[in-house]
Amino acid sequence: MTEGRHFLVVAHTGRQTALEATGAVCAQLLEAGATPVISMEQWDDVHEHVPELNGRVRRFEDLDPTLIELVIVLGGDGTILRAAELVREHSVPLLGVNLGHVGFLAESERDDLDYTVRRALAREYTVEERMTLSVRVKSGDEVVYESWALNEATVEKAERERMLEVVIEVDRRPLSSFGCDGVVMSTPTGSTAYSFSAGGPVVWPSLEALLLVPLSAHALFARPLVVGPDSSLAIEVLHRTEAAAVLWCDGRRMHDLAPGARVIVRKSELPVRLARLHEAPFTDRLVKKFNLPVAGWRGPVGRE
């Protein structure tokens, strides 16, 4: 059975609310004649807690991924990042329904679940491409690890008591060296995630750029940097550093870094595609997600 419409449903199945939402979404898809698809890692949880779906959904790993029309994600930003991993090579759009806290990448909330699925079935959404990072680790001339990130790649110390010693590099030229807790290299999408918490700027997602934000750096020149999409950033872990270092990509994929390792970050040629139901400006999303105070605003008068 390979015909018809297929929707991958990805949920944070450790939460009862997510399992209930999974059941509701799958039932709505089935009623519309579409086929819900569940990944293997969620298969047992879904079938145990939503038994009415037994025999009525397909497993993602048994399906040609090109048949997936849309990924419906039920959870917070972490769940959306997981869904992006699953379809990384297939350019399938992700439609997020926030069941978490801020849910910055999500397009709708739990109360709008039925409406969201109806819009998905009617193909009433636009697709927005978000820049991602290509991440490479080198030891000498040898590439020892490669990954990617939608939000950020972070070089961090693995031991709380000690400090990392690093050199930061832009476009293959050294810029500064210092001791620190770590360094965040981010996309505009990630500028409202870890980079934001570390004091980095908020960058509108329509702009393609690379951000670098030091974490608790002991240096005079350790300010956040923003460079163009054709630039490269690199962090070299100095041999004199006493702390063990790790690389995290989106807080999900980890790699240990030996002294002397270099982490090189560039723009990836493969974006993540987000399905959007609303054309609201990014400014409005910031105000809503962060509950920013805008009381008293009267708006522009006449033409600007």
Residue 279's pLDDT is what?
A: 84
pTM here is 0.91
**Does pLDDT of 303 surpass 70?**
no
143-155 pLDDT tens trace? 999 999 999 999 9
Mean pLDDT of 265-273: 97
Catalytic residues, by residue number, are 77
Confidence of residue 1 (pLDDT cuts 50, 70, 90): very low
Mean pLDDT of 73-102: 91
Question: Which one of 2.70.98.10, 2.60.120.920, 1.10.238.10, 2.60.200.30 gives the CATH number of domain 133-267?
Answer: 2.60.200.30
Q: 23-66, pLDDT tens digit by residue?
A: 999 999 999 999 999 999 999 988 888 888 888 999 999 999 99
Q: 118-123 long-range CB contacts below 8 Å, 24 or more apart? A: 118/28, 119/277, 120/7, 120/70, 120/72, 120/95, 120/275, 121/5, 121/28, 121/29, 121/32, 121/34
The mean pLDDT value for 199-227 works out to 94
Pair type for strands 6-11 and 35-38:
parallel
Choices 3.20.20.70, 3.40.50.10330, 3.30.470.20, 3.40.50.2300: CATH for 6-130: 3.40.50.10330
